Structure formats: C-alpha cells, structure tokens
C-alpha cells in the first residue's frame, strides 16, 4: 500500500513537471521593442545631425530624455526573471522619443532658415552702418575709445560673416550680437555729435552769404574754408574761382576755445599779413586776425563761467599756409594747402582779404542725402 502511494506521488510530480515544462516551452517570452528603439535612435541621430541640439534644443532634449528613460527601463526589465519582464514602458518612451525627435528635426530646419535670413539682414544693416561711418566719419575727430570700438566691431562683423558663410549660424549670431552693440552705439554717438555740431549751420550760412556778398559788391577776392568738406574756396566778384583741398587742425570739430586745443577756429576773419617763404617754415603763409573781437569776448565769458581753465590762454597765429596736401588733419589749428595751391592764393589775395571759416557750407541733410 505504501509503495502504491509512493508510486502515485512520483507520477503526480512527473505530471506537474511535464505541465510546467510544456507551459514554459509554449508560453510567449516578453520581447523588448528593438525595432522601436532602433527607430527612435535613428531619428534622434538625424535630429542631432540637422543641428537640433542647437536650433531646437527643447524638443531635442525631450527626445533624448525619453530615449534615455527607455534604455533605463530596458536595463531594469532585463534584471527580472524572463517571464516576468514587461517592456511596455520601454515601448511608450521609445515612441515618445521618436515623436519629439521628428519635431526637433522640423523645428531645427525652420529655425535655421529663419536664423539665416535674420543674420543676412543684420549683416547687411551693419555693413550699411560701416559704409556710413566710412563716408562721413573717416576724417571726423572721434575719440580714441569710439574709434577703437568701431575697429573692434568691424573685426567681429567680419568674423561673423565668415561663420555665416560656413553655415555656423549660432556662432555667427553670438559674434554678431557683440559687433552690433559696438557698431550701433558708436554710430549713434558719432551721429549725435555730428548733429549737435551742425546746430551752428544757420550762423555758418549767414557768414558765407555775407562773405560772398562782399566779394560781389567790392569786386574783390574772398576765401571760404569749409571744414567738413576740407575745402578752401576762393571767390571773386561773388563767383567761385578756385577750390583746393585743405588740411586742418587735429581737433577741428567745433570752434577754437583755448591755445593748444588743436582746433581750427570758426568765424569771419581777414588777412593781416602775407609771409613769403623766407618768413615762415610752411613755405608761404597768410596770417589771420585771430582772435578777433568776438573770439576775445567769448573767451572772457567762458573763463568767467568756469567752462575753461582760469590759466588758459586764447591762442593765436592762425594762418593759411603751405606744406599741406597730406590728406590728414595735422596742424595746430591752421589751414594747410599744397604749395602749388598756396602759390596761386598767395599771389591773388592781399592784406584785408576776407577769410571766413565755417563748419560747413551745406546743411547736414544735404550732406547725408548727397
């Protein structure tokens, strides 16, 4: 009886083992979503190559986060018993990753296109500013700091343009931002300074008209110095006869205020002495009556107001002289002509000839439009 029960138990055990074995053999083993993961990885790689990491950062990082989460889930499930594994979260995260990666590709392409257009417009705008700076401010006495900022801005713009050509738009944009700040600030400062300088234009125009009128009424020569255009214009009988290039004082913008400021004065003067080449180091020279009464009165008033040092002197010895033609402003305040031009002017003028020095004969609007 005992042997029979033992036999029954053995048979039952074998039956159970056979049942479990059959179950294990035919029950489907959970399979990881390899295809979905490969697709997600492929789309993520495409997004990275298309610049999404830079130009579509948010959807790209979300796609990468979902992909990393899917990989973590996969590794965790692989630690479990084979029949207890559940890859559903891996599959969901892989799908989310692929979707965000596709969005990143689309956003990156669109953003790159918009960025490229915006950069091209910025480059054109800044080059226009540089062209205007070169046209109107090359010889304008800006401060060293402003000149330095303009030079740095030009170099950065060139670097940005090179990056733009190489399609490194993000890098080009970062450099462009600094170049734009330097160039726009410098241009606004220079433009404001120039505009303030031309506030005196109504006075200049009045002086010019009076000088030409005297030339016509007295049938005599008169000279007008246009500082902004650097021209010495000789009139006779109210008509322009000669025009020469002129070099000015290093700090020519504005009126002369004190001795040593290297500024060329502005006002209505006359020649009080003619110096030939034996009497001047500048070949020939025409000494002007600077300071005149208006200059002296202005100097006294400024000193009384404290706008110039109490120890300052008014200065003098302002001449039209030779040895010019250097194409730069180098004098201590005088007007320098070439020796050939000086020969002609020296010959035709006389003591008492009017010499009017103005910032410009033309309005700022006329100059900018021209």
Helix ranges (H only) for 198-275 are: 201-218
The pLDDT value recorded for residue 279 is: 81
Nearest partner of 261 among 283, 290, 286, 232, judged by Cα: 290
The pLDDT value recorded for residue 267 is: 95
Contact 341, 210 (CB under 8 A): no
The pLDDT value recorded for residue 4 is: 62
The pLDDT value recorded for residue 25 is: 53
Residue 281 — very low, low, confident or very high, per pLDDT cuts 50/70/90?
Answer: confident
**Domain spans in the chain, listed from the N-terminal domain onward:** 1-25, 31-134, 135-198, 201-369
Residue 293 — very low, low, confident or very high, per pLDDT cuts 50/70/90?
Answer: very high
Q: Is the pLDDT of residue 135 over 80?
A: yes
Domain 201-369 fold: L,D-transpeptidase catalytic domain-like (2.40.440)
- Kindly report whether the peptide bond that precedes residue 291 is cis, defined as omega within 30 degrees of 0: yes
CB burial of residue 5 (10 Å; 0-12, 13-18, 19+): exposed
Which residues have C-beta within 8 Å of that of residue 65, sequence separation ≥ 6? 97
CB burial of residue 266 (10 Å; 0-12, 13-18, 19+): buried
What percentage of the chain has pLDDT greater than the value 90?
65
In this prediction, residues 228-252 reach a mean pLDDT of: 95
Contact 257, 308 (CB under 8 A): yes
Q: How many residues does the chain have?
A: 370
In this prediction, residues 63-68 reach a mean pLDDT of: 93
Q: How does pLDDT run across 118-128, given as a tens digit for each residue?
A: 999 999 999 99
The pLDDT value recorded for residue 277 is: 80
The pLDDT value recorded for residue 334 is: 96
Task: Report the predicted TM-score, pTM, of the whole model to 2 decimal places.
Answer: 0.72
Q: How does pLDDT run across 141-169, given as a tens digit for each residue?
A: 888 999 999 999 999 999 999 999 998 98
Question: Cα(50)–Cα(59) distance, rounded to whole angstroms?
Answer: 13
Which residues have C-beta within 8 Å of that of residue 10, sequence separation ≥ 6? none
Question: Cα(44)–Cα(297) distance, rounded to whole angstroms?
Answer: 79
Bridge partners (DSSP) listed for residue 271: 288
Contact 367, 264 (CB under 8 A): no
Q: How does pLDDT run across 2-56, given as a tens digit for each residue?
A: 666 666 766 666 756 665 555 445 556 788 889 998 999 999 999 999 888 888 8
Bridge partners (DSSP) listed for residue 240: 235
| Helix-, strand-, coil-residue percentages of the chain, each rounded to 5 | 60, 10, 30
């Amino acid at each position: 009886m005992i042997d029979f029960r033992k036999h029954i138990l053995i048979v039952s055990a074998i039956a159970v083992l056979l049942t479990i074995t059959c179950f294990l053999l035919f029950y489907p083993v959970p399979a990881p979503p390899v295809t979905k993961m490969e697709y997600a990885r492929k789309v993520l790689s495409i997004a990275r190559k298309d610049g999404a990491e830079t130009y579509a950062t948010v959807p790209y990082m979300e796609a990468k986060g979902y992909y990393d989460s899917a990989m973590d889930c996969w590794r965790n499930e692989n630690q479990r018993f084979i029949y207890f594994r559940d890859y559903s979260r891996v599959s969901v995260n892989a799908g989310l990753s692929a979707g965000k990666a596709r969005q990143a590709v689309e956003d990156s392409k669109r953003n790159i296109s918009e960025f490229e257009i915006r950069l091209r417009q910025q480059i054109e705008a800044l080059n226009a500013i540089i062209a205007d700076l070169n046209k109107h401010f090359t010889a304008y006495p800006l401060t060293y700091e402003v000149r330095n900022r303009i030079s740095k801005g030009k170099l950065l713009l060139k670097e940005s343009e090179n990056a733009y050509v190489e399609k490194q738009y993000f890098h080009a944009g970062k450099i462009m931002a600094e170049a734009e700040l330097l160039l726009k600030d410098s241009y606004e400062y220079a433009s404001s300074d120039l505009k303030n300088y031309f506030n005196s234009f109504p006075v200049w125009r009045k002086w010019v008209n009076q000088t030409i009128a005297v030339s016509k009424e007295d049938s005599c020569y008169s000279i007008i110095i246009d500082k902004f255009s650097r021209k010495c214009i000789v009139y006779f009988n109210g008509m322009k006869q000669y025009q020469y290039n002129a070099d000015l004082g290093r700090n020519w913008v504005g009126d002369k205020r004190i001795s040593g400021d290297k500024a060329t004065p502005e006002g209505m003067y006359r020649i009080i002495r003619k110096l030939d080449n034996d009497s001047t180091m500048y070949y020939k020279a025409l000494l002007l009556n600077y300071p005149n009464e208006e200059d002296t009165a202005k100097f006294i008033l400024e000193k009384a107001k404290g706008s110039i040092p109490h120890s300052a002197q008014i200065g003098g010895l302002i001449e039209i002289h030779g040895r010019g033609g250097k194409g730069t402003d180098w004098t201590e305040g005088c007007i320098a002509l070439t020796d050939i031009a000086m020969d002609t002017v020296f010959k035709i003028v006389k003591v008492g000839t009017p010499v009017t020095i103005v910032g410009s004969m033309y309005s700022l609007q006329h100059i900018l439009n021209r």
